[in-house]
Amino acid sequence: MARKQGYSGLQIGLHWVVAVLIAAAFITHEDMGRALRSRLESGETGAPLHVWFGIAALVFIALRIVVRAFHGAPPPPAGQPHWADLAAIWGHRVLYLLMIAAPLLGIAAWYGGLRSAGDVHEVVGKALVILAAAHAAVAILHAILRRDGVLTRMVRPQV
């Protein structure tokens, strides 16, 4: 995979659109358990906001992964310990994995009628939001404590 000095404008735009859509899906998750039960029991067809935000998130996540495959990603910032490089690389991989798994499991529950997928979806969705919050905290700590420009590279495009 290509190694670049920074993220492109498109990658940065997609990062923030996906972040907002995941936050929106999380904020609207309440009552989804009840909505799923009534859908499975009485065949109700309307889709709640949570479903729309979640599907929109999946579309942009897929796009983001394609763009990353072509553009690549910058290496971790210089001068930090090896364990921090590994934490960043694996943290981002797990974020991508959860970003794909959470909406797919939601779709399997909602459109496929799989209750067990719904149970796993709840756990995976929460894990995604917790890891994303930790990720955001680490990005902000980089800006405050290390001032190594890591936060800026998800703001200012570099081709």
Rule CB under 6 A: is residue 112 a binding residue for ligand HEM? no
Tokens of 20: 């907002």
Residues 6+ apart with CB under 8 A from 11: 64, 67, 68, 71, 73, 157
Residues 6+ apart with CB under 8 A from 157: 6, 7, 8, 9, 11, 12
Binds ligand HEM (CB under 6 A): choice among 122, 146, 148, 157: 122
Rule CB under 6 A: is residue 100 a binding residue for ligand HEM? no
Rule CB under 6 A: is residue 88 a binding residue for ligand HEM? yes
Complete DSSP assignment for 72-129 = -BPPPPTTS-HHHHHHHHHHHHHHHHHHHHHHHHHHHHHTT--HHHHHHHHHHHHHHH
In one letter, which amino acid is 41?
Answer: E
Rule CB under 6 A: is residue 119 a binding residue for ligand HEM? yes
Please, what is the minimum distance in Å from the beta carbon of residue 41 to ligand HEM? 13
What part of residues 6-35 is at the interface with ligand HEM (CB under 6 A)? 15, 19, 22, 25-26, 29, 32-33
Residues that bind ligand HEM (CB under 6 A): 15, 19, 22, 25-26, 29, 32-33, 36, 50-51, 54-55, 57-58, 68, 73-74, 76, 88, 92, 95-96, 99, 102-103, 106-107, 109-110, 118-119, 121-122, 125-126, 128-129, 132, 135-136, 139-140, 150-151, 153-154
